[in-house]
Amino acid sequence: MANTIADSSATSDSARAPKRPPKQRYRKPSQFKGRDRTVFYLMVGIPTALHVLLVWVPTISSLFLSFTDWNGIRLSDMNWVGFLNYEQILTVFEKDFWQAVINNAVLLVFLFIGPTIFGMFLAYLLDKNIRGSRFYQSVFYTPVVLSLAVVGFMWQSVIYSTDNGLATQLFGGGESVDWLGNQSFLIPFGDNYGISKNFVAILVAIAWRHTGYIMVLYLAGMKSVDNSLREAAGLDGCSEWQAFRHVIFPTLKPINVVVAVITVIEALRAFDIIYVLNTPRKTEVLSILTTNNLLGEGGGNVGRGSAYATILFLMCLGFVIWYVTNHYRNTQEGAES
Amino acid sequence: MTDQSTTRSPSPATHGYSLGRRNFIKTAAGAAGAGLILPAALAACGGDDDDSGSGSDGTAAPEGTAEAPAAASGDLSVGSRLANDAPKAGLAAAVEAFPNEDVNVSINTTDSNTFQENISTYLQNPDDVIAWFAGYRMRFFAAQGLLGDISSIWPALDSELGSGFKTASTGDDGKQYFVPFSYYAWGIHYRKSLFEDNGWEIPTSVDELTALAAEMEASGITPFAFGNDGNWPAMGTFDQLNFRINGYQFHVDLMAGKESWTSDQVREVFATYETLLALHQENPNGRTWEEAAAALVNKEAGMMTIGNFAGSQFPEGELEDLDFFPFPEINPEYGLDVVEAPIDGWMMAAAPGNEAAALEMLEYLGTAAAQDVYLSEDPSVVATSSAADTSVYNALQQKAAETVQNAEFVTQFLDRDTSPEFAANVAGPRFADFISDPSSIDGILEDMQAQSEVILTT
């Protein structure tokens, strides 16, 4: 991150100084000349136009459609119904809705305390340059190469098969175990909600893949730790845990930010693995509820599907706003690394 | 993915009956994929009982011959979802044998799943003749004004298509919008050899059924194989119980949202279901129907409430051993008058480019002439016409043809008889909840009724 220090330049920019990160110098378009300016407008304008057209126009449309009761066939059939879809989600469909919200939250927490910590642990072990560490790296990373949909198929047919699966043979004690169908709660939250056993099974399958991903990120970060720091810590008589906690972990801060962002994205975005398993009961997440109403068999209720989508969008938006304001505030204060 | 969706019941035209290995090679090319189901067994040329006595009402004599009085000409487009090799060849052959030489027919084939998922978009700019299924979704589109009324050709088809088919092809306004082409039947499947070895008889009432199940349990065999993955197989048993206990009209009204899910009749169905559930394989919610059928093949289970497509799980030599019987009588008032048989067929767009040709084509497709030609290429379906040549059928197909032709009423399976949104988002998950915990049925029924009102009556 070696940038020129430039907060003294271009005094005309001082009015914008509070928003400007101190390490970079911005120039106004008017400072460009002729062809440079055209290039500038094109380079900024075209991607922006595409982004607005392909991302924001559909988003605003979804927002709008969530206030209608359209069935997706003819535009003339669209009627404005106000907040009816939201009311129905919160009353008639509330059990499905809150269970989905809980599942998304559980997935988020799980991804933080499971794969992230375990991935960090694996990265720490592999960072020691033991024999065969490249081999281990490949082995742990291989599941990441598979899409979550494929992971779902594999685990369903090979490991979680009720009568003949690997998990049944190992842990079933001779009886068939319904890994993916058992919707009773492992950890109930009251009568109607909780973390269901089959959702935990799916979490294990997700972790199998996600851990390698986190491991590689942390491994890259750890490679950039200055060796002299480690030696110094060793000379000072640090135990391993102390060395990790006080020397290595602080240097991983930028990686932590990346991992946090990735984790939140994965948690909110989760869809494919649950969908390919035919959405066992009690494992629904918000994206599944959205597509249930929009696509294929149960589709044709564009209004309610858009309402679910809007709710999911607002959750994502909350996170994005938090992240962006924090990030820019930090860079402004120079608090980053 | 295969043409087989795992979240809705199989479709007759794309997943009908098991076939010979020679046809396996033809269909395998189109059906490779992650699915575990493939038509695989060798067809034995079965008996030659040509089925007679369709349930035609025999009132007015058919008007004229099978050809329309004024022959049409011009271009005709047919939108087909028969993308696998054998069905595609079958349709092409049937279309080629179309007697009217002046009509230039073009077939636009889309893969079945894509076709179904995009039907709403497709119907905004459809072909003249469209492949689809009978049941609610056909009636729904008819009520939206997206389909053309084809009642004019039905009098000519009355001699070949029974009243059950006609009712299934009728829209809410009493006019016909659909021509049935192929189907399969649901029933209780079993292995004949297993029953013979143990001296078991086909039960004719539900008491006999429970007695038979007790005998099976005593022999160490699970009475019913059951796998509910995808949430639709449970609908099969529910349908059978509902129209046996409460009759066809109640079943249709319940599907349409006119009867309440919290009514006593529905509670009785679920009470019966609960007692039967004790006789089914345990932990069904995570088991696919293919795995459950494997239990039937291995003689670990004695019976299975499933459609005829279960034959695809039987290895080559053992397919002849598979047979089915209708779900036994529960309420003598209704007896065995209803058969569940999803029907695939054809319908016409509301404003086709060439209406006269479309009507002729539809009439032709409903007759044995077209269906025989189709069967010569793809004998894996049961054709709807009672005059179709049944010599290519295996024993299972013969039985299905007899059962359905003689039925007074034909239902389409829950996911075709009601709004797909209701079936997939409400009925499927709620039935899975019930199976997982039958004692929670009260809360489940209340939820279902509330959601049914929201979905079906808007």
Q: pLDDT by residue (tens digit) across A63-90? A: 999 998 887 777 777 888 889 999 999 9
Cβ <8 Å between B230 and A153: no
% of chain B at pLDDT higher than 90: 30
By CB atoms closer than 10 A (0-12, 13-18, 19+), residue A196 is buried
Q: What is the pLDDT of residue B70?
A: 57
Nearest to B432 among A73, A281, A300 (CB): A281
| Chain A residue closest in CA terms to B418 | A298
As a whole number, mean pLDDT of residues B146-163 equals: 86
Q: pLDDT by residue (tens digit) across A157-171? A: 899 888 788 888 888
Side-chain-side CA neighbours of residue B59 (13 Å): 5
Q: Is the pLDDT of residue A21 over 60?
A: no
Cβ <8 Å between B286 and A182: yes
As a whole number, mean pLDDT of residues A42-67 equals: 94
**pTM for the predicted model, two decimal places:** 0.79
Q: pLDDT by residue (tens digit) across B367-402? A: 888 888 888 888 778 888 888 888 888 888 888 888
As a whole number, mean pLDDT of residues B131-146 equals: 86
Residue to substitute from B147, B282, B421, B430, interface A, most A β-carbons within 10 A: B421
Q: Is the pLDDT of residue B344 over 70?
A: yes
Compute the distance between CA of residue B162 and CA of residue A270 in angstroms, rounded to an integer.
Answer: 49
Cβ <8 Å between B436 and A182: yes
Q: Is the pLDDT of residue B3 over 60?
A: no
Nearest to A178 among B5, B36, B286 (CB): B286
Compute the distance between CA of residue B340 and CA of residue B413 in angstroms, rounded to an integer.
Answer: 6
More reliable by pLDDT, A29 or A95? A95
More reliable by pLDDT, A306 or B60? A306
Contacts of A299 (CB under 8 A, 6+ apart): A72, A292, A293, A305, B117, B120, B420, B421
Contact B17, B397 (CB under 8 A): yes
| Chain B residue closest in CA terms to A93 | B451
Residues of A with CB under 8 A from a CB of B: 69, 71-74, 88, 91-93, 95-96, 153, 157, 160-164, 176-184, 198, 278, 280-281, 292-293, 295-301
Which whole-number Å values give the CA distances from A25 to A40, A325, B179, in the listed order? 16, 20, 72
Q: Is the pLDDT of residue B56 over 60?
A: no
B360: number of Cβ within 10 Å: 24
* Closest to A268 measured CA to CA, from A155, A66, A107, A137: A107
Radius of gyration of chain A (CA): 25
Side-chain-side CA neighbours of residue A311 (13 Å): 22
Beta-ladder partners of B400: none
| Chain B residue closest in CA terms to A302 | B421
Q: pLDDT by residue (tens digit) across B22-55? A: 333 333 333 333 333 333 222 233 333 333 333 3
Residues 95-154 of B with CB under 8 A from A: 116-117, 120, 123-124, 144, 146
Strands B129-133 and B74-80 turn out to be parallel
Strands B322-325 and B186-191 turn out to be antiparallel
As a whole number, mean pLDDT of residues B308-313 equals: 85
A268: number of Cβ within 10 Å: 19
Q: What is the pLDDT of residue B115?
A: 83
Q: What is the pLDDT of residue B84?
A: 80
Contact B388, B226 (CB under 8 A): no
With beta carbons under 8 A apart, name residues in chain B contacting A161: 291
More reliable by pLDDT, A127 or B58? A127
Contact A100, A288 (CB under 8 A): yes
Q: What is the pLDDT of residue A333?
A: 61
Residues 19-78 of B with CB under 8 A from A: 34, 36
Which whole-number Å values give the CA distances from B31 to A156, B1, B86, B270, in the listed order? 20, 8, 11, 37
**Could you tell me the domains of chain B?**
67-183+342-398 (3.40.190.10), 186-340+419-456 (3.40.190.10)
| Nearest CA distance, B101 vs chain A (angstrom) | 36
Contacts of B361 (CB under 8 A, 6+ apart): B76, B78, B95, B98, B103, B105, B128, B129, B346
Place of tokens 């851990």: A211
Q: What is the DSSP string of B167-213?
A: HHTB-TTS-B-EEEEEE--EEEEEEHHHHHHHT----SBHHHHHHHH
Cβ <8 Å between B436 and A181: yes
More reliable by pLDDT, A295 or B273? B273
As a whole number, mean pLDDT of residues A292-299 equals: 70
Interchain contact B291–A (C-beta under 8 A):
yes
Q: Where are the beta strands (DSSP E) in chain A?
A: 185-189, 193-196
Q: What is the pLDDT of residue A44?
A: 93
- The CATH code belonging to domain A86-333 is 1.10.3720.10
Q: What is the pLDDT of residue B19?
A: 59
Nearest to A162 among B5, B291, B415 (CB): B291
B204: number of Cβ within 10 Å: 13
Q: Is the pLDDT of residue A203 over 60?
A: yes
Cβ <8 Å between A297 and B5: yes
Q: Count CB pairs under 8 A between chains A and B.
A: 109
Interchain contact B208–A (C-beta under 8 A):
no
Helix (H, G, I), strand (E, B) or coil at B347: strand
Nearest to A73 among B120, B433, B458 (CB): B120
Q: What is the pLDDT of residue B340?
A: 92
Q: pLDDT by residue (tens digit) across B319-338? A: 888 999 999 999 999 888 89
| Nearest CA distance, A281 vs chain B (angstrom) | 6
As a whole number, mean pLDDT of residues A108-119 equals: 93
As a whole number, mean pLDDT of residues A47-72 equals: 92
| Nearest CA distance, B185 vs chain A (angstrom) | 22
| Nearest CA distance, B401 vs chain A (angstrom) | 28
Nearest to A162 among B120, B286, B451 (CB): B286
Which whole-number Å values give the CA distances from B360 to A189, B67, B99, B128, in the listed order? 62, 7, 10, 12
| Nearest CA distance, A256 vs chain B (angstrom) | 37
Residue to substitute from A77, A79, A89, A92, interface B, most B β-carbons within 10 A: A92
Nearest to B285 among A74, A153, A280 (CB): A280
pLDDT mean across residues, chain B:
81
Residue to substitute from B4, B226, B283, interface A, most A β-carbons within 10 A: B283
As a whole number, mean pLDDT of residues A204-231 equals: 89
Domain range summary for chain A, segments of one domain joined by +: 28-58, 86-333
Residue A176 pLDDT level (bands cut at 50, 70, 90): confident
Q: Which of A245-249, B48-52, B272-276, B318-322 has the lowest mean pLDDT?
A: B48-52
Cβ <8 Å between A301 and B144: no
pLDDT mean across residues, chain A:
84
Q: Is the pLDDT of residue B351 over 90?
A: no
Q: What is the pLDDT of residue B140?
A: 83
* Closest to B138 measured CA to CA, from B171, B161, B165: B171
Q: What is the pLDDT of residue B20?
A: 47
